[in-house]
Chain A
Amino acid sequence: NAGVTQTPKFQVLKTGQSMTLQCAQDMNHEYMSWYRQDPGMGLRLIHYSVGAGITDQGEVPNGYNVSRSTTEDFPLRLLSAAPSQTSVYFCASSYRADTEAFFGQGTRLTVV
């Protein structure tokens, strides 16, 4: 039982490049979400999904896309990276939004 697996752990992008952050969970959780963590701002919700085929925007969705084709996977796509997207990204999954969230190890992304 691996829990929530997030890759890569570190990434450096040039402005304008695109990339996909991968997230997979093996706990059969319906609810998955992506957060970004910036100093002094806590964890801000980017996008979330309540089940396969269903996604919705969180607090800071601009510049990011998501899809949920399976229960296990919830990738986050950066369409055209900007320096403002330099951050630590966490994927999380839970049975519901009002139950314990399990986080991935995080991705430290730097956009230059």
Chain B
Amino acid sequence: GENVEQHPSTLSVQEGDSAVIKCTYSDSASNYFPWYKQELGKRPQLIIDIRSNVGEKKDQRIAVTLNKTAKHFSLHITETQPEDSAVYFCAASSDDYKLSFGAGTTVTVRA
């Protein structure tokens, strides 16, 4: 099955700086790569996703890049704000109907 590894496990950034989270996947058939944000005590919510036919996608301060050859994808958050503090999960899915998640990255934005 799919194995998704996520780094780093914790990330502390100064407000206004950028944050980058990296994930690798094992199944070359994976074709869908979402990112979820989970605030403390809340449910995970989708913030951005990318499909295998696209190399990069942006949504305001958030961007995701995908390198299919190297089997890795990354989340970039620019101009970080206190409300960006949360746990972020990457995930990967292929045609076997399973969505596999990384272990998560706890992001803390320091004021």
Contact = CB atoms under 8 A, between A and B. Distances in A.
User: Are both chains from one complex?
Assistant: yes
Interface of A: 31, 33, 35, 40-45, 48, 50, 56, 58-59, 90, 96-101, 103-106
B102 A42 contact: yes
Interface of B: 1, 6, 9, 31-32, 34, 36, 43-46, 49, 51, 89, 91, 93, 96-104
Contacts of A59: 1, 100
B98 A97 contact: yes
A23 to B, nearest CB: 12
A100 B34 contact: yes
Given A33-B99, A41-B103, 14 more contacts: A40-B103, A40-B104, A42-B6, A43-B44, A43-B91, A43-B101, A44-B101, A48-B98, A59-B1, A59-B100, A98-B31, A98-B32, A101-B34, A103-B44
Given A97-B98, A98-B31, A104-B43, A40 B89 contact: no
Nearest to A40: B103
A45 B99 contact: yes
B100 A103 contact: no
A42 B97 contact: no
Contact of A43 (B45, B51, B89, B97): B89
B69 to A, nearest CB: 21
A97 B103 contact: no
29 contacts: A40-B9, A40-B103, A40-B104, A41-B103, A42-B89, A42-B104, A43-B44, A43-B89, A43-B91, A43-B101, A44-B101, A45-B100, A48-B98, A59-B1, A59-B100, A96-B97, A97-B32, A97-B93, A97-B97, A98-B51, A98-B93, A100-B34, A100-B46, A100-B49, A101-B44, A101-B99, A103-B43, A103-B44, A103-B45
